[in-house]
């Protein structure tokens, strides 16, 4: 979901739309309450359980307001690129984009604003272990490969003897981190894998994880041996 285009389309022909366009054209940030409200409306109108939001949040106040009023962010993809490449790519896009804010003066303002306001967002989410850094200086295929790897389910393995409290901890961890909880012992029973080989059990688990919608998985009682 491209946030800027959503805002412009939603407010096209209104005074508020004209005001927002002027703010963006001048290199400024739209008030975070307005941005989050419009974004929430767009999310509600889209029939999906998962959302990839491009260009948001751009400041810590946006991030905090969104987390408090809408939903907890599960992961942040941070595309890292040097400033000189930023300017080069933005100026190249300006040749064909037709956007009012794609000019040298505004581009420089936006880049400085990025360092002033958006980099702190990365630092904010780093504290929660949610940032995935991607080197965006390479080819399209290379950046795509990194992006694909970054959004694969992150698996936390929980092992320990009976009575260690691992089940209670695992369930609490999954709840606190928006993760799917899987107990491997229960998984084997539910899928009639008890008498299967280790290889067959693991392949069945891999298939299940490949179909998992949640970006995090807390996996209890696995692995059970070195194989």
Residue 153, pLDDT score? 73
Whether 117 is covered by a domain: the verdict is yes
Examine the domain organization and report whether 17 and 79 are in the same domain: yes
Query: What residues pair up with 163 in beta bridges, in sequence order?
Result: none
Number of domains composing the chain: 2
Residue 29, pLDDT score? 63
Whether 194 is covered by a domain: the verdict is yes
Examine the domain organization and report whether 166 and 67 are in the same domain: no
Report the chain's terminal Cα–Cα distance, integer Å. 42
Examine the domain organization and report whether 97 and 164 are in the same domain: no
Whether 200 is covered by a domain: the verdict is yes
pLDDT digits (tens, 9 = 90+) for 104-158: 888 888 888 888 888 999 999 998 888 999 999 999 999 999 998 888 777 899 9
Residue 126, pLDDT score? 92
pLDDT at 1 exceeding the cut of 80: no
pLDDT at 92 exceeding the cut of 70: yes
pLDDT at 15 exceeding the cut of 80: no
CA distance 217 to 123: 24
Examine the domain organization and report whether 52 and 115 are in the same domain: yes
pLDDT at 75 exceeding the cut of 90: no
Examine the domain organization and report whether 35 and 141 are in the same domain: yes
Which comes out higher in pLDDT, residue 218 or 215?
A: 218
Examine the domain organization and report whether 85 and 185 are in the same domain: no
pLDDT at 76 exceeding the cut of 80: yes
**What's the mean pLDDT in 196-215?**
87
Whether 191 is covered by a domain: the verdict is yes
pLDDT digits (tens, 9 = 90+) for 29-43: 667 777 788 788 888
The CATH number linked to 176 is: 3.40.50.300
Whether 158 is covered by a domain: the verdict is yes
Whether 225 is covered by a domain: the verdict is no
Residue 19, pLDDT score? 66
Residue 87, pLDDT score? 86
CA distance 144 to 136: 9
Examine the domain organization and report whether 65 and 28 are in the same domain: yes
pLDDT at 177 exceeding the cut of 90: no
Which of 115, 150, 185 delimits the end of a domain?
150
Examine the domain organization and report whether 204 and 125 are in the same domain: no
Which of 96, 123, 150 delimits the end of a domain?
150
Categorize the per-residue pLDDT at 45 as very low, low, confident or very high, splitting at 50, 70 and 90: confident
Structural domain span for residue 175 = 154-220
Residue 213, pLDDT score? 72
Examine the domain organization and report whether 172 and 127 are in the same domain: no
Q: E-assigned strands of 27-90?
A: 76-80
Examine the domain organization and report whether 198 and 216 are in the same domain: yes
Q: How far is CA 37 from the centre of its chain?
A: 19
Examine the domain organization and report whether 124 and 162 are in the same domain: no
Which of 97, 127, 150 delimits the end of a domain?
150
Q: Are 47 and 41 in contact (CB under 8 A)?
A: no
Task: Residue 136: name the closest of 148, 151, 124, 146 by CA.
Answer: 146
Residue 22, pLDDT score? 66
**Lowest-pLDDT choice from 22-26, 102-106, 172-176, 208-212:** 22-26
Examine the domain organization and report whether 134 and 173 are in the same domain: no
Whether 226 is covered by a domain: the verdict is no
- Computed over every residue of the chain, the mean pLDDT equals 84
Whether 227 is covered by a domain: the verdict is no
Q: Are 154 and 212 in contact (CB under 8 A)?
A: no
Contacts of 98 (CB under 8 A, 6+ apart): none
């Amino acid at each position: 979901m491209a946030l800027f285009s959503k805002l412009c389309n939603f407010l096209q022909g209104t005074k508020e739309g004209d005001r927002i366009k002027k703010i963006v054209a001048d290199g400024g940030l739209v008030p975070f309450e307005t941005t989050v409200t419009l974004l929430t409306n767009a999310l509600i109108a889209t029939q999906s359980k998962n959302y990839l939001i491009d260009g948001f949040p751009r400041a810590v106040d946006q991030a905090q307001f969104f987390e408090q009023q809408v939903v907890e962010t599960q992961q942040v993809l941070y595309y890292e690129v040097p400033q000189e490449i930023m300017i080069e790519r933005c100026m190249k896009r300006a040749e064909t984009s037709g956007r009012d804010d794609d000019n040298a003066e505004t581009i420089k303002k936006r880049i400085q604003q990025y360092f002033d306001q958006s980099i702190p967002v990365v630092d904010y989410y780093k504290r929660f272990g949610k940032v995935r850094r991607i080197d965006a200086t390479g080819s399209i295929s290379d950046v795509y490969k990194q992006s694909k790897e970054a959004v694969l389910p992150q698996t936390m393995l929980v092992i320990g003897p009976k009575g260690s409290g691992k089940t209670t901890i695992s369930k609490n961890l999954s709840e606190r981190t928006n993760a799917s909880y899987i107990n491997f012992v229960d998984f084997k029973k539910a899928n009639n894998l008890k008498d299967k080989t280790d290889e067959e059990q693991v392949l069945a688990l891999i298939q299940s994880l490949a179909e998992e919608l949640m970006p995090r998985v807390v996996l209890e009682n696995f692995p059970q041996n070195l194989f």
